[in-house]
Chain A
Amino acid sequence: MLAKNKFALLWTAVFCLSANALGSDVIKRNRPKMDHESVYYFLVKQFGPASQALLKKNFLMRPNLWGGPCDPYGQVFLTKKGQGVLVDEETECPDEGMSSKLDFYVERDTLAILILDKTCEKLGQDEETLRYFLQAKSISEINSESVTQAYQAFFPNTVPSAAWTQQAMGQKSWAPIVTGLCRTPTWQFL
């Protein structure tokens, strides 16, 4: 737990630095990054339909943590079992009007980093979501080519460092490799 907290604090520090590294009183920088919808769709693309419920709960429903205004009037409710149910769950705009005024880019706080960490751990450990990730890239064995492919799923057009590749190839299963990539929040940078 302590190690996880240290990890979260480290990434919080990275994000804070990226947020205002060259900032002054009159120029504020907040590095553009994926918003709550972009993160959701990115991870659904990587981990498949079995990941949707978890990702919806942790990203789509929490625009205040991940940024990006939503549209309350985009929600259409129909009756199901006497209740109003959203026709398209992905249009949900929580907190009514408040979420429509959010910035697209919000700094990731400790809670956001912890949620990402926990979500990625679940996705990496879940057989179905991990299988989807690997099958979509047609990879199974751990070798330099396949770990590079896994790396580029999160960091397109980027070649992993030799040290990272070496470390990844030393793993006995895909779970720690995929979890580690997923919990590295810089893939959210635009």
Chain B
Amino acid sequence: MNESSCVAFGVLLIVSFLGFAQTPSSQAPATRPDWSALFLAPPSQLSFDPSPQKYLTGVELFRRCYVMIIRRPLPDENQLLSRVKNGTLTGEEACVRLVGNATFNAEGILEHPDLDKVELARLLATFNRLHSSWFEAYNLSFSGENFGTAEFSDFQQMGYGLTRAFFGQRDVTSTLQGHEIFAPLRDPINRNQYLLARNPFTGNHLPWDRIGFFYDDGTRIQGRIPQAPRGTLRGFAVEKESFQLKKYFIQYEKFHENTDSNLRRHFGGGTLGSSTYLLLTMGDKVGTILDGQVRLPRRWAKSVFKDVMCRNLPVLDEADGHKYLQPESPNVFSKNESCMQCHATMDQIVGVIRDVQGGVNNGKGLDFDRTKNIQKDSKIGFSYLRSVHDSKKLQPADHPYAFAPQIGRLRMRDFNGQELDEPVASLDELGQKIAATDDFYMCQARRYFKFLTGIDVETDPIVLKSSALTQQDKLMVGQVHEWAMQLKKDQKAEKMVESMLRSPFFRHQNFDPIQPTSLAQPVAAAPAH
């Protein structure tokens, strides 16, 4: 910290202490107020109900976690239940074992010494569905006749990454890094014969063997379009080979272009840059080339903050919008302070995927059998992405933004109120910067805690800062923060879940163990620890 910023920081501390200011003014952009002091109280001040009858017995506790996680009635012959009943395991230990003893074998299949095959599939399904549900977008058919996309591009891809890290004892940070595509390993007892998509006229699922994929000129695409695996989920493999299409069709405003491409392309940054996530969230029409002004994948930007950090835009403070005004810009929103509170974030972060050409429509599947089951004009198209650099026809001079170096900026106020405004030159670098924030871990802690207790604690600092918080609110935010910081340190989400399973919140009959009497105490009056 240099001398001038030291002085500014000191002044801010004094002013904050006197209660005159809580947000930085536009004249003092370098100030870094610690917002978290406004809405965090140390969880050590939580006082829990001491009456044992308010907490579940060992058997009750294990029944709770079993039904919650396996989502089946607990069978009397369950091995872990027997051990709880005969006193060789506590209910708490049995719950921890239920989650913690699952590991992937060398083939990527989940295994557990205490669970049968059905239970194991349920355990994996529960966490995978939980993780997948954290990503809001599911509709890959954003541009009309491309509803075939979901047939080969599994929209749970992001959930697979988190689930693999969870049971595979991998760092949570790894989910925001690299180019790995996770192929779900599903029971191949029967090969699925139908699409997920239904005939819009009959409501029947469309059969695979009657669907052909074609180029726009009517030539059938050679080779089988790989179906996303279907069946009971057993584990994950990392996809080594990508399906290559030769001379695929690019629909662009002025011309069509056939080039070779990779259907499973990954743009890096783990979750942030898989083709699936980009297709789900870029949300622009077929063939769009980004121009840095009107055509920007802002929905992707919003999704990254929401899905990965539990943050809604704006992620900048009110006063921050002023700093990023662009009076000379042709865009109206660039001259408006409140607009720039969001645009200053969205329009910068997307620079890192400026070369991605969104919603490329590769082909159409036609009803070439003309069966009664399918309408004559039914079509099935599918989308995937490429980089503009793959094109032989596009001229960089015509698209200066898309062809410029892929540099974006992560611009936000983090959980602690610190202003981040840092360049990122790749999705991996963006993933690293996000993983360095507390927000990423707060989000994960919030979501696991909500699943295990039904208690949803707000972790968005902009919301917290503008709310009138009770002492209980602060203590609860403090509790989630403590778990988040534990996760940030040891990086293992499964360990954090174990801590939550051991907590009084999970063991209490009503998931509400806090003593009301302790809530009346103001933070300042609480004994020091």
Q: Are B473 and A73 in contact (CB under 8 A)?
A: no
Instruction: Tell me which of A30, A73, A156 contacts B156 (CB under 8 A).
Output: A73
Which residues of A sit under 8 angstroms from B481, Cβ to Cβ? none
Q: How distant is B303 from chain A, measured CB to nearest CB, in Å?
A: 13
Instruction: Tell me which of B57, B72, B130 contacts A104 (CB under 8 A).
Output: B130
B192 at the interface (CB under 8 A from A): yes
User: Which B residue sits closest to A33, measured CB to CB?
Assistant: B454
A137 at the interface (CB under 8 A from B): no
Which residues of B sit under 8 angstroms from A27, Cβ to Cβ? 455-458, 472-473, 476
- Bound-state CA distance A69–B190 (Å) is 23
Question: Which of A3-11, A95-103, A144-152, A167-175 has 4 or more CB atoms under 8 Å from chain B?
Answer: A95-103
B204 at the interface (CB under 8 A from A): yes
Residues 26-63 of A at the B interface (beta carbon under 8 Å): 26-32, 34-35, 37-38, 41-42, 45
Residues 355-402 of B at the A interface (beta carbon under 8 Å): 373
- Bound-state CA distance A34–B67 (Å) is 8
Question: Which of B104-112, B132-140, B431-439 has 4 or more CB atoms under 8 Å from chain A?
Answer: B132-140
- Bound-state CA distance A24–B373 (Å) is 53
Residues 444-474 of B at the A interface (beta carbon under 8 Å): 451-458, 463-464, 467-470, 472-473
User: Which A residue sits closest to B373, measured CB to CB?
Assistant: A82
A83 at the interface (CB under 8 A from B): yes
Q: Are A73 and B229 in contact (CB under 8 A)?
A: yes
User: Which B residue sits closest to A75, measured CB to CB?
Assistant: B230
Question: Which of B18-26, B58-66, B244-252, B290-298 has 4 or more CB atoms under 8 Å from chain A?
Answer: B58-66
Which residues of A sit under 8 angstroms from B186, Cβ to Cβ? 73-74
- Bound-state CA distance A96–B454 (Å) is 26
- Bound-state CA distance A91–B510 (Å) is 31
Residue-wise, chain B 205-216 has the 8 Å CB interface mask toward A (1 for contact) of 101000000000
Q: How distant is A35 from chain B, measured CB to nearest CB, in Å?
A: 6
Which residues of B sit under 8 angstroms from A32, Cβ to Cβ? 68, 452-454, 511
- Bound-state CA distance A105–B192 (Å) is 31
- Bound-state CA distance A74–B132 (Å) is 14
User: Which B residue sits closest to A70, measured CB to CB?
Assistant: B129
Which residues of B sit under 8 angstroms from A25, Cβ to Cβ? 458, 467-468
Which residues of B sit under 8 angstroms from A34, Cβ to Cβ? 67, 71
- Bound-state CA distance A35–B130 (Å) is 12
A138 at the interface (CB under 8 A from B): no
Q: Are B138 and A100 in contact (CB under 8 A)?
A: yes
Residue of B196, B470, B472 most packed against chain A (CB within 10 A):
B196
Q: Are B68 and A190 in contact (CB under 8 A)?
A: yes
- Bound-state CA distance A72–B198 (Å) is 13
B194 at the interface (CB under 8 A from A): yes
Q: Are B455 and A77 in contact (CB under 8 A)?
A: no
- Bound-state CA distance A89–B385 (Å) is 35
Which residues of B sit under 8 angstroms from A24, Cβ to Cβ? 470, 472-473
Residues 80-126 of A at the B interface (beta carbon under 8 Å): 82-84, 87, 91, 96-98, 100-105
Q: How distant is A78 from chain B, measured CB to nearest CB, in Å?
A: 6
Q: Are A69 and B456 in contact (CB under 8 A)?
A: no
A79 at the interface (CB under 8 A from B): yes
Q: Are B230 and A76 in contact (CB under 8 A)?
A: yes
B148 at the interface (CB under 8 A from A): no
Q: Are A41 and B230 in contact (CB under 8 A)?
A: no
A161 at the interface (CB under 8 A from B): no
Which residues of B sit under 8 angstroms from A73, Cβ to Cβ? 154, 156, 184, 186, 196, 228-231, 233
A22 at the interface (CB under 8 A from B): yes
User: Which A residue sits closest to B188, measured CB to CB?
Assistant: A76
Q: How distant is B296 from chain A, measured CB to nearest CB, in Å?
A: 25
Mind listing 22 A-B residue pairs with CB under 8 Å? A22-B512, A24-B470, A25-B467, A27-B476, A29-B456, A31-B510, A31-B511, A37-B71, A69-B133, A71-B233, A74-B231, A74-B232, A77-B205, A79-B194, A84-B205, A87-B189, A96-B197, A97-B139, A97-B140, A100-B138, A101-B133, A157-B59
Query: Measuring CB to CB, which residues of chain A are less than 8 angstroms from any residue of chain B?
Result: 22, 24-32, 34-35, 37-38, 41-42, 45, 68-79, 82-84, 87, 91, 96-98, 100-105, 156-157, 190
* Sample of 20 more A-B contacts, CB < 8 Å, known A72-B196, A73-B231, A97-B150: A26-B477, A27-B455, A27-B472, A30-B454, A41-B71, A68-B71, A71-B125, A71-B129, A73-B154, A73-B230, A75-B192, A76-B230, A77-B192, A77-B205, A78-B193, A79-B193, A100-B156, A102-B133, A104-B130, A157-B63
Query: Measuring CB to CB, which residues of chain B are less than 8 angstroms from any residue of chain A?
Result: 57, 59-60, 63-64, 67-68, 71-73, 125, 128-130, 132-133, 136, 138-140, 150, 154-156, 184, 186, 189-194, 196-197, 204-205, 207, 228-233, 373, 451-458, 463-464, 467-470, 472-473, 476-477, 510-512
